[in-house]
Structure 1
């Protein structure tokens, strides 16, 4: 995502006030789409016009490269153009109606909606399972030890969410920790300051920080809170309404892709494809795949079951919704249910 591997929540991009959202995850029918959108849908229904999807540098997104290079999209009868972006740029392009869909964290999809861009989350690619971490200096061994200490992270982004959740679980008020707002890519340098006891950061910047400060160690990761950070496929509502069968086929291709990556017989080939896409040695890239829990169709069915816990896309999204409001990312909670669209996953066998 941003620069290299991230699940970053680029909420600072969109400081817009909340606009109204539907109260349910029903997409508009074709006859309710504005005239300009009808024309666009008519054009996009032509087989020669590809579905455009923005993707970026996160293992759960880079995994699509396997499907692209194996030709599985064409085999499924799909004409899809995956467009490579820096993560923040992909969200800007989606907001500007330059893409039919974008790969985005569930929290950032809420931020998009608060600014007026309603993307329907039809599928979850993965959840962060170790790539987002809290690193502490020698002598600090747990989240509880952070009380009274200075912790650096980039305010409003996904590892601020990780830190906030970890503090809540340890019954430590946020006011008991001094939050030092720092640009993520500068955190390894910031961590060397004697005033900073810990940082919250994602990989591979985390590895740089560990090397920068002798004796430092990871004391908490997104693996400790599975489902806190979901990555999703978010689709323009009008396009979804007009092309549901195509989106179903795409979900089936994803299921095939996950199984190929997870199969010991084909795993190495998949890793090589993914690593080559981002210019990383396959052996090194394994670490980032290990920190990303990919979800096939069966797992998606479970995640889309409505619930308040992090094992549900609903519960996770409710949690980040409250976090975004409490940290001033937007003023009032977005209608999360109106952005989660489980129907396609539920209909597939």
Structure 2
């Protein structure tokens, strides 16, 4: 993996984090997971979650003796609500959400490093808008209180602009992309598979992408800590099934991309193009990600940096140990069992 450290943005975006926290509301819950046999893992539409999709559709979870539902949520807010209420045991999400969940009282841990966005998240605009600077006074679709808002604030900061310079319209990534096509907003924060479709249909422009902010958007599979404590063998089985799916994708990209395309309502060709902006992490990458190191190549360094952003806000008196939120035993056991 050739990944840049997240630390280089810590000081530069401290101001935007303070502003972001002004919107972030605490929804702390003490709900715990149930003892039901079915395991529910939540996700939004994102090509990088191909490992979960393939493991589900190829029956790899069933092969492990598991009853797993990979449940689609329409947006990050809905996914967060499902996780925090305890209706799902795990979710695919950015490390940013993993850490903010902890600040809201959810004891959760990362068990798989899924991917890093290298261009598949972006800010798009209708024809006639060619720069982030042109967004002043314009309507921008963005899902408030999520990493998409954080990403937008980061981009605005790079152009010496503030969130108050735009007119935010609260929309999910899918809705935001459709709104650009319909002309209901001037610009939107979205991601694949919606981003490419919206640009093609609207004739619009990509103003800023995660390739301009490497290390900011990193996805992990997190599980609630109470579930991990109760069912470590099931978590290990999920990890085995997941990397079996990643190995299948690497060995059979055409068939695998077809499976993902059908699930995301896209074409295999589009999925292939979208994945060029995503670094999907395999088992070897995960061995590195779950090894302690300061940079974003390691989840320890990545999540410490995210936590540092939050602490810079001075808005919370809580203390979160992000090192404890990285659970390496399942990746370690995966390699031990393969020896």
**TM-score over 0.5 for the pair:** yes
Structure 1 residues 11 and 129: CA distance shift in structure 2, 3 A: farther
**2:290 matched residue in structure 1:** 304
C-alpha RMSD of the superposition: 4.0
Q: Which has the larger radius of gyration?
A: 1
CA contact (8 A) 1:54 1:85 kept: yes
The corresponding residue for 1:78 is: 65
Shift of 1:62: 4.4
Distance (Å, rounded) in 2 between the aligned partners of 1:238 and 1:289: 33
CA distance in 2 between counterparts of 1:99 and 1:200 reads: 26
Answering whether residue 257 of structure 2 is matched by residue 247 of structure 1, we say no
How many residues were matched structurally? 307
Quick check: 2:180–2:202 contact (8 Å CA) kept in 1? Answer: no
Alignment partners' CA distance in 2, 1:212 and 1:68 = 31
1:211–1:12 Cα change, 3 Å: farther
TM-score by length of 2: 0.73
Measure how far apart 1:314 and its partner are.
3.0
3-state SS, counterpart of residue 25 of structure 2: coil
Partner in structure 2 of residue 57 of structure 1? 45
Unaligned runs of at least 5 residues, structure 2: 1-19
Q: Measure how far apart 1:237 and its partner are.
A: 1.0
Residue in 2 that maps onto 1:232? 220
1:205 is displaced (CA, Å) by 4.3
Decide whether the 8 Å contact of 2:27 with 2:104 is kept in 1.
yes
Q: Quick check: 61-70 or 117-126, which moved more?
A: 61-70
Is there any run of 5+ residues in structure 1 with no aligned partner, and where? 1-9, 21-33
Alpha-carbon deviation of 1:292?
A: 2.7
Structure-to-structure mapping, 1:97-116, within 5 angstroms: 97-116=86-105
1:153–1:160 Cα contact (<8 Å) kept: no
What secondary structure is seen at the aligned counterpart in 1 of 2:222? strand
- Once the two structures are superposed, the pairs formed by residues 22-171 of structure 1 within 5 Å of their partners are 49-75=37-63, 77-86=64-73, 87=75, 88-135=77-124, 140=130, 146=133, 149=136, 152=140, 154=142, 155-166=144-155, 170=158
- Residue 270 of structure 1: CA displacement? 0.7
Relative distance call for 1:324 and 1:80 in structure 2 (3 A) is farther
Measure, in 2, the Cα distance between the counterparts of 1:299 and 1:73: 22
Q: Deviations over 1:229-272 (max 9, x none)?
A: 12211112122123223322322222221122123xx1111111
User: Is the 1:54–1:90 Cα contact (8 Å) retained in structure 2?
Assistant: yes
Match of 1:29 in 2: none
Deviates more, 1:270-279 or 1:330-339: 330-339
Match of 2:192 among 203, 211, 220: 203
Contact 2:193 2:264 in 1 (8 A): no
Provide TM-score, normalisation by structure 1.
Answer: 0.71
8 Å CA contact 1:156–1:324 kept in 2: the answer is: no
Tell me, yes or no, if structure 1 residue 217 matches structure 2 residue 205: yes
Q: Higher helix fraction: Structure 1 or Structure 2? A: 2
> What are the superposed Cα offsets for residues 64-119 of structure 1, whole Å, 9 maximum, x if unpaired?
232223222233x3313214231433332222222222222211122322222221
* 4+ residue segments displaced more than 6 Å: 10-14, 17-20, 190-193, 325-331
Instruction: Give the direction of change, closer, same or farther, for the CA distance of 1:73–1:209 in structure 2 (3 Å limit).
Output: closer
